[in-house]
């Protein structure tokens, strides 16, 4: 598992943007097998920042009801990161 496969994408929604503005928290979708330490290290390597806190959650895939009966979206993992120093370009100016 390399750094790029750990951090899948930043989550940009109204909720995450207000969390960043109010509490300096950044949301990411991460590899389901990655843990807090791996995420912190990957972010520090990729974006040259210092992470102070990293919380992770497993999100259960939602149920889909289709013609084939019940199906599921895949489970995924979310990380909420607080930074000690530095920032992420893609979040800036939002």
Partner 1 sequence: MSVESKVEKLENAKVKLTIDITASDVNQGFDKAYKKIGAKVKLPGFRPGKVPKSILKQRYEDTVKNEAFEEILNQAIETAIVKDKLNIVSSPDIENVTDVYTKLQENESLSFQAVLEVYPTVELGPYKDLTVTAKTFYYDASHVDLELKKLQDREAEVIKKENDTAETDDLLQIQCNFYLVAKDEDNNLLRHINLNGNDEWFGPHQDQLLGMKVGDEKDFGMKIPEDYGVEALEGKDGYVHVKILEINYIDLPDMDDELAKDYNFDTLDDLKKDIETKLEETVNQKKREETFSALVEEIITNSQFDMGEAVVENRINQNLRTMQKQLEKMNVSLEHYLAMIRKSLDEIKDEMRESSLKDIQFDLIRQSVIEKEKIEVTDEDMDLEYKRYADHAKIPFEEAKKALSQNTTLDTLEYGRLHNKLIDFLIEHNTAKDGEKEAIQINS
In the complex, least distance from residue 94 CB atom to partner 1, rounded to whole angstroms: 5
Told to check if 94 binds partner 1 by CB under 8 A, we report yes
Q: Which of 77, 43, 37 is nearest to 61 (CA)?
A: 77
List CB contacts of 58: < 8 A, sequence separation 6 or more.
Answer: 32, 75, 76, 77, 78
Site for partner 1 in 11-30 (CB under 8 A): 11-17
Task: Give 26 or 51: the residue with its C-beta nearer to partner 1.
Answer: 26
Cα separation, 7 vs 66, whole angstroms? 31
Told to check if 89 binds partner 1 by CB under 8 A, we report no
Left if phi > 0, otherwise alpha if psi is -120 to 50, otherwise beta: which for 68? alpha
Told to check if 69 binds partner 1 by CB under 8 A, we report no
In the complex, least distance from residue 80 CB atom to partner 1, rounded to whole angstroms: 15
Task: Give 15 or 60: the residue with its C-beta nearer to partner 1.
Answer: 15
In the complex, least distance from residue 33 CB atom to partner 1, rounded to whole angstroms: 25
């Amino acid at each position: 598992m390399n750094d790029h496969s750990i951090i899948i994408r930043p989550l940009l929604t109204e909720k995450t943007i207000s969390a960043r503005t109010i509490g300096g928290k950044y949301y990411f979708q991460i590899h389901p097998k990655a843990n807090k330490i791996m995420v912190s290290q990957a972010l520090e390597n990729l974006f040259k920042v210092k992470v102070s806190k990293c919380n992770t959650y497993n999100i259960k895939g939602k149920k889909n009801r289709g013609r084939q009966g019940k199906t599921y979206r895949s489970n995924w993992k979310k990380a909420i990161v607080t930074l000690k120093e530095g920032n992420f370009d893609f979040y800036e100016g939002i």
